[in-house]
Amino acid sequence: MTNQTSVTEFRLLGFSVITELQILHFLVFLFAYMAAFMGNFLIIVLVTFNHHLHSPMYFFLKNMSFLDLCYISATVLKSMVNAIMHCHSISFHSCFLQLFFFIMFGTAGLALLTVMAYDRYLAICSPLRYRTVMNTRACVQMAAGSWLSGALYSVLHVGNSFSLPFCGPNFVHQFFCDLPPLLQLSCSDTQPNKVHNIVLALCYGFICFTLIFVSYIHIFNSVVRIPSAEGRNKAFSTCLPHLIVVSLFISIGFFMYMKQNSRAPSTQDMVVPALCAIVPPILNHIIYSLRNKEIKAALRKVKRQGWNMATYF
């Protein structure tokens, strides 16, 4: 791609230029990042070193936790450094690289949620075939496919915008390089790019959400035919955390992109993307942990052993 532009760097304006508010910004983001890091890292460690959790469902959960860590790191770390160092510049290529990773990890997460819905479908609707179909090789291929689809989507999404000319100004009214404020800075007609991005997002989202919806239609049909109430409750308990996370993903994504940034930036233009970048990585592991007896049992075991992970080797 040939990119002809006079802009060599962007200025991320963030939430405020007041020193006290920048320190508050740093502290809030630090607390959110540490909460997401500790929770997701704990899930990764538990699933890795506890042989009772070596199953396809927890393999995908571990991948989701790692994705969440990458997702929040792509935006929050740079913003924290900017706030504490009072330096808000980011190079042109670093800006689009940050945007690439932000979109990649987000869309890969949606693809992984789709794979997890298929995993629950097989476990409940075809339990006799489950171990045969969801073998180690198939799980690795599905997880790799989720990452690859996210990377491909991000290349198409970001590459379409990276090719635009940017002649100035270079002030991005956001705490990270997000697509809507970047498109406003281009000195060419961005309407075709917006249409391209919307069509691409609708196609990707439609495929994932359709597969999730069809999977759960079959799951609910199978669950209601289970004769025992205990069996129905157990089946629903394994699906409920996934359904909550999918609903959270859809809701946050909807609120993030339903409003195009106006020429006069508002507080909402910054707050909504901040919630999208911070809330899912913090809540996802909490949702799965609170509703999962095996995860809670593993946590109790670690607590009894004084967090001595050497016992898992």
Q: Region 154-158: what's the mean pLDDT?
A: 89
Structural Rg of the chain based on CA atoms: 21
- Residue 228 CA to residue 231 CA, distance in Å, equals 5
The pLDDT of residue 195 is above 70: yes
Q: Region 104-120: what's the mean pLDDT?
A: 92
For CA atoms 292, 246, 150, 100, the dihedral sign is negative
| Residues listed for the chain | 313
Q: Nearest Cα to 149, choosing from 195, 103, 189?
A: 103
Alpha helices in the chain (DSSP H): 19-49, 56-85, 92-125, 127-133, 136-162, 179-184, 191-223, 229-257, 267-290, 293-304
Which one-letter DSSP state was computed for residue 244?
Answer: H
Burial class (CB within 10 angstroms; exposed 0-12, middle 13-18, buried 19+) of 247? exposed
Phi, psi of 171 (to 5 degrees): -90, 115
- The pLDDT tens digits of the residues spanning 72-103 come to 999 898 888 888 887 778 888 888 899 999 99
The pLDDT of residue 312 is above 70: no
User: Tokens at residue 85, please?
Assistant: 């160092």
CA distances in angstroms from 204 to 11, 70, 145, 279, listed in the order given: 31, 21, 14, 22
Rounded-to-10 torsion of CA 291, 277, 252, 203: -110
- Distance between alpha carbon 190 and the CA centroid of its chain, in Å? 26
The pLDDT of residue 268 is above 90: no
The pLDDT of residue 174 is above 50: yes
The pLDDT of residue 17 is above 80: no
- Residue 14 CA to residue 22 CA, distance in Å, equals 9
Token look-up 């899930």 returns 43
Neighbours of 235 (CB within 10 A): 20
Q: Mean of the per-residue pLDDT values for the chain? A: 81
pLDDT band with cut points at 50, 70 and 90 for residue 219? confident
Q: Is the domain covering 9-312 a CATH 1.20.1070.10 domain? A: yes
The pLDDT of residue 159 is above 70: yes
For CA atoms 210, 213, 217, 218, the dihedral sign is positive
CA distances in angstroms from 286 to 84, 174, 242, listed in the order given: 29, 28, 12
- pLDDT of 261 reads 46
Token look-up 């540490």 returns 34
Better-scored residue on pLDDT, 203 or 275: 203
